[in-house]
Chain A
Amino acid sequence: MSPMGAMFRAERVKLRKSWPMLTAILAPVCQTAFLAVLFWFSGSRFQLFKPVFRFWIELNYMAWSLVLMPVTAALLCDLSWEQERQAKAWNLLLIQPVPRRAHYLVKCISHLALLMLSQVLFLLLLPVAGGILQFQRDLMMGPLPLALLFRFAAFSALASVALVSFHTWLSMRVPSLWAALTIALMGSWLTLRWVGGSPLIQFLPWGLASQMVVIFDRFRTLPWAYCLGSLSSSAVLVVLGTIDFARDRETRA
């Protein structure tokens, strides 16, 4: 097994029964359940947004991208670093025969994998919950827009890369859950105000996720071209974070 492969397996062991894993599972469940209850008891009011199944997916993905996904990314990253701090793990991890930069890279990719797990769960839960909502006849849900669902899932998966690369670095540097959550929500809120304005927005960690707001404007489509900018800035963040971690060893000793 390659050293990186072994480190990923070690990281997987650490995530068993852990808070980051629980967060990754609970986040999509909580959001889907909350909105499903809201839809179920709203009666015929959502008929205004026919076809309601489409609206169900649009509303879920907008809430996910603007609120839940940035919050989940912040939580996952902070809890994961905190787990290492509480275990005083760096005294042990940094004396293992693996390059220092590998520790950061593995952390970053593990955080991304956790957020992807969240998104896969979300992708599975939406049609299931939508199917249950079809039993509420007043809603007139209509058919499942499968292509739309996959399009949104792909866009939100790409948007999560920048969020994870930013929060991995932030939580390594600033060990505070409240700071991470505040920055996540403030960043999302501020970026939301610039949607439709400067294209430079794509380079911000929340830039791509906040574009999800355009989905309610039926004449506009998701700005896929922005993905390249977002992924490029993510790559820069990962490289800078790796250099920072490998260079400044004493912050973790």
Chain B
Amino acid sequence: MQGSLVQEFTKGLWKEIPPFRLVLGLCPTLAVTKAADTGLGMGVAATFVLVFSNLIVSLLRNVIPNKVRIACYIVVIATFVVITELVMQAYTYPLYQALGIFIPLIVVNCIILGRAEAFAGKNPPLLSAADGLGIGVGYTLALTLLGGIRELFGSGTLFGHGVMGAGYEPFRFMVQAPGAFVCLGLMLGLMNVVEAIRTR
């Protein structure tokens, strides 16, 4: 049991790390990674929702009728999203403002529904929570990394601190929409290259 808990947790960190290996939840990935701290904030919010929705879905897995399961999952997820939304509005208002409509949009983040459907609906609660935590932490790492890269080149800062020096001309392309797509595309390709070398 202990071994498999760790296993479920760690698979989210490399083998199934979203959004690279598990290409889901792209919209928030692209939208909130203008800077490292918004990426981190979004990752933490999504992780919270993921862990608790997995836990509840898993606890209810024998109660929910198969035919209406998707609707039930969405209600569970939406409940936790509203909790997150209200907590963030109360305690981290600047972050709440920066993320904007992407907080309520966590509801339709396919990673969360995907984990509920693919994992939590079939597995016991503790394993599901570990799976949610693993995927969530992986997602947070990915968002922070992507946000860090875009912020570093696009604004010359990292978590709001100047890094590149005063003479650096910010590469604005990186913080605008096209930069998001291209940067994520390049990183996906790089992940594939690394994976190909590892398995050779």
A binds B: no
